[in-house]
Structure 1
């Protein structure tokens, strides 16, 4: 049975049984067409709005399979999508009628505690990494949802609970094994293909398929101080003012965030928060847990607590604490984000008002405190350019019924548009849905002055833009 797939020229091509069988003989992993057993079992995406309908899936077991898959796609002129963790808000690993390179089977983590290095395959999620590294009391700064893919988060920057003390995920990337658009396997490090390593530190999936990441590790845990206090959303403005004043003087060991959500009537939660709109203040102290609980104490005293979950907690538990808010293939999701150079009273009042007017119980309006180790890295030292703004506003539209898509997307866009009056320091691409504006606007906003160098590196490693299912950088060769 032949398969119709989309080509890079925008047309369609037919892949015959003979052609597909040749691919099956070349690789040592499953090659799945829509009618094949196992096709429906590939790793689900997070965003149910963009489930993807690939024409062909290569579920790779290793680097050689990825190399052969890329070569096959190039030889046949196919559009390629790469799915690592599948957590892309914009659905960048879920193109229709594409050839999908599925990295889910490639989730190994190898830890060298003496060298404080971890080698991580491209299909791993952060739970895989945390489990292995925490066995040695070590960690890579990762995300705040343990089911998030290592690849997407790292290549896009990577904010987590350790960001102010240790910086971004991409800052800890010291080497990578990459399958390029030409099918060649390269290592990017401080001694070879250094330009490629620079680009991978925040430049997205533009430059090839990363099959192995090598991360520098930090001493963390196994127990950390955690603050997690739920306040009534009606007190959001006062809570946010207190939070702003606290983080202004907090040491770099403290990473703190605020989010607003309506809690479900979960029997495992106290009745006080059942079906209750809350502002949740979370914080982690990177250091001695007992000392950290004292330093985090003010975050527990910002208003009238409905629920206080603050306590010394295993780092792995902190990493998994928000997982329940982000189930796979369940929520329709459309997000926007904006960096803010300050957090004025007027900005706080705006955030509080929008938090109270959320159109869905599981829509989040978030504020992240930045600075610290993030800002200590020069903006041109990595592809990730935005390091100076002290705050990030993220408007995470989440809901369950596709019939509500239009109204919820409109609300997120309106909130994002109105927020520009409080500062417009660029966007964070990992927290950005498919745009209603030209794609290069968001890319230019995110990369700023680094975009020209990124375009040149793109032209060197992917001149034909084979890897385009991403926050795409147009290849531009420099003379």
Structure 2
């Protein structure tokens, strides 16, 4: 029988257990039979074998941004946050990254060589789950989704065997596994990723904040600039409810709905000229975090993601070219002080970047809608669901019928992330690598299992 070192296992009640079962998204309860803390590929395999020999399932988590399904005592939770090694091959522009690494850690090393990974908008998101979900950030427009930059994945299958998913893998199922890891939520338990890096020459970023009274003119300015900003400038326009007493915001914008516009480009200051010109006609912002040269840390700050764990419940939807026409109505759903929607945003993501073969390696639509509220209990969850329904109704004219599953905060399943053929292919790959369904399914596979 496979045994693990005692120091790699944490039982309920221990400090390590409590830390590992406190995910960034605190919507659901996590009470696994045990938490495993592997620090190597061999220890990951041992954890899966250990669980199998006790007829336990396996769930995996690093930062817990993607937490959504409860983890009960019939599963072992594999905490991959200790798999955090980062190696950069500057000549090849490639990074070899532990599955539990965060993008902030990766880019802190990569930028020493003038390189960056295609990180998201939060500093604390782990590389693996973000990339396997597609990977959307402020570098998506010029460079594409992070899933398309994924070159290989070292992983463990449902039998506890170490494998490598790559385009040149000898076994066809490992070649298929790479397709699934590229935006299909993944299959198996990832140990490490090999990703392509980019070399932005002139990274600039900034953001502005207004009182909610400026919503319509700011939206009008953003919409009018979209056709003129070229293919490098990424923007996120949102209404967010700021926490009271938060020092990040000036007193006039604390605890109230606020208009937020963040923007970034790897091609220098001129890319934002059309947007800045359009905004000059709108009311002056309360906060102007200057459009200026940026490093990876500044790029990760402009979205103003909450740093601490919250019980978030959300939706992510891909919208078509008509999204600008509904933007004001969509953002207005969160404009009231008592709105249960704490944040609603639209991002422009249309691009012509090169894509590799994968489940989702190109943006399904030119705009992404993300809305989120809190779900502390049954009552607040119901209220937030009502608010999110209003967001869906306001955006329905531009909705293309595809969800962005990684933005479905606090949910265990999401049914519309792939088309029918893609879902069937994902199911076949999962069945081949995990015939006993040892692993807790991704949101996409969970939706298929529930159908």
- The answer as to whether partners of 1:354 and 1:415 remain within 8 angstroms in 2 is yes
SS across alignment from 1:430: helix
Give yes or no for the alignment of 1:239 onto 2:218. yes
The match for 1:13 is none
| Residues 219 and 344 of structure 1: CA distance in aligned 2, closer, same or farther (over 3 Å) | closer
The match for 2:374 is 398
Deviation, 1:271, is: 3.8
The match for 2:384 is 408
| Residues 309 and 474 of structure 1: CA distance in aligned 2, closer, same or farther (over 3 Å) | closer
Give yes or no for the alignment of 1:70 onto 2:48. yes
The match for 1:181 is 158
The match for 1:52 is 30
Structure 1 residues 241-250 or 124-133, which shifts more?
241-250
**Residue 320 of structure 1 is aligned with which of 300, 304, 324?**
300
In 1, Cα distance between equivalents of 2:248 and 2:344: 24
| Residues 474 and 259 of structure 1: CA distance in aligned 2, closer, same or farther (over 3 Å) | closer
In 1, Cα distance between equivalents of 2:339 and 2:314: 13
- The answer as to whether partners of 1:385 and 1:447 remain within 8 angstroms in 2 is no
In 2, Cα distance between equivalents of 1:77 and 1:444: 31
- The answer as to whether partners of 1:273 and 1:307 remain within 8 angstroms in 2 is no
The match for 2:421 is 449
* Structure 2 unaligned blocks of 5 or more: none
Structure 1 residues 257-266 or 157-166, which shifts more?
257-266
In 2, Cα distance between equivalents of 1:406 and 1:367: 24
Give yes or no for the alignment of 1:465 onto 2:437. yes
Deviation, 1:276, is: 4.1
Deviation, 1:262, is: 3.0
**Residue 95 of structure 1 is aligned with which of 71, 81, 91?**
71
Structure 1 residues 384-393 or 138-147, which shifts more?
384-393
Structure 1 residues 69-78 or 110-119, which shifts more?
69-78
Give yes or no for the alignment of 1:311 onto 2:291. yes
**Greater relative CO, 1 or 2 (CA 8 Å, sep 6+):** 2
- State TM-score, norm by structure 2: 0.89
- State TM-score, norm by structure 1: 0.84
Deviation, 1:33, is: 0.6
In 2, Cα distance between equivalents of 1:475 and 1:278: 34
The match for 1:199 is 180
| Residues 470 and 102 of structure 1: CA distance in aligned 2, closer, same or farther (over 3 Å) | same
* Structure 1 unaligned blocks of 5 or more: 1-21
| Residues 401 and 320 of structure 1: CA distance in aligned 2, closer, same or farther (over 3 Å) | farther
The match for 1:211 is 191
- The number of residues matched between the two structures is 441
Deviation, 1:315, is: 2.3
- The answer as to whether partners of 1:355 and 1:365 remain within 8 angstroms in 2 is yes
The match for 2:129 is 152
Tell me how large the CA RMSD over aligned residues is: 2.8
| Residues 281 and 472 of structure 1: CA distance in aligned 2, closer, same or farther (over 3 Å) | closer
In 2, Cα distance between equivalents of 1:103 and 1:253: 34
